[in-house]
């Protein structure tokens, strides 16, 4: 993970921890969840080819494929890590996220959708472009409500 990305994660963590400590908000389970995976391309990857895959295959196939989840690959155009990539998974709520992925493993319901719509093949192909650490290191940000 790049230094700027680590700094960003630390700042987010400080913000969330500070907000929680000061306001003592409990999670209702109803707020959106934004899961962020900062994607680090493998050394031999052609950026143009990766972006073509993201636009024409990954994003277009995942668009509306799983109820309660919006998922796509994005590219930073401003900020501390310009031209970096991230995969965003936006769940309708904590309840939805926890139903789809209870205990870090996808549910049978989500697995069935992924199989039916051949989405696992896209995950595997994404793995040919990005490092394994990119897909396994993440943060889920929960909307405070």
**Between 30 and 71, whose confidence is greater?**
71
Looking at 35-44, 86-95, 101-110, which range is the least confident one?
Answer: 101-110
pLDDT number for residue 135: 86
Strand order across the 85-91 sheet: 69-75, 85-91, 33-39, 139-142
Contact 71, 33 (CB under 8 A): no
Q: State whether the Cα torsion 35-81-6-21 is positive or negative.
A: negative
Reported as a single tens digit per residue, the pLDDT across 10-40 is 555 555 554 444 444 556 678 899 999 999 9
Q: Which long-range contacts (CB under 8 A, 24 or more apart) does 99-108 make?
A: 100/66, 100/68, 100/69
Give the pLDDT band (50/70/90) at residue 144: confident
Could you give all domains of the chain from N- to C-terminal order, each with its CATH number? 3-142 (3.30.70.100)
φ, ψ of residue 89 to 5 degrees: the values are -120, 115
**CA distance linking residue 84 with residue 70, whole number of Å:** 20
Reported as a single tens digit per residue, the pLDDT across 74-83 is 999 999 999 9
Integer distance in angstroms from the first to the last C-alpha of the chain?
Answer: 31
Reported as a single tens digit per residue, the pLDDT across 104-132 is 889 999 999 999 999 999 999 999 999 99
């Amino acid at each position: 993970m790049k230094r700027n990305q680590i700094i960003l994660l630390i700042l987010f963590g400080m913000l969330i921890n500070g907000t929680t400590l000061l306001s003592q908000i409990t999670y209702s389970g109803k707020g959106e969840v934004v899961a962020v995976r900062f994607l680090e391309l493998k050394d031999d990857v052609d950026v143009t080819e990766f972006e073509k895959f993201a636009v024409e295959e990954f994003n277009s196939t995942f668009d509306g494929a799983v109820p309660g989840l919006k998922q796509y690959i994005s590219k930073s155009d401003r900020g501390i890590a310009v031209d970096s990539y991230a995969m965003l998974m936006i769940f309708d709520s904590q309840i939805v996220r926890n139903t789809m992925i209870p205990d870090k493993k996808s549910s049978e319901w989500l697995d069935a959708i992924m199989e039916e719509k051949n989405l696992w093949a896209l995950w595997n192909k994404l793995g040919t472009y990005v490092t394994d650490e990119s897909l396994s290191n993440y943060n889920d940000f929960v909307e405070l409500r």
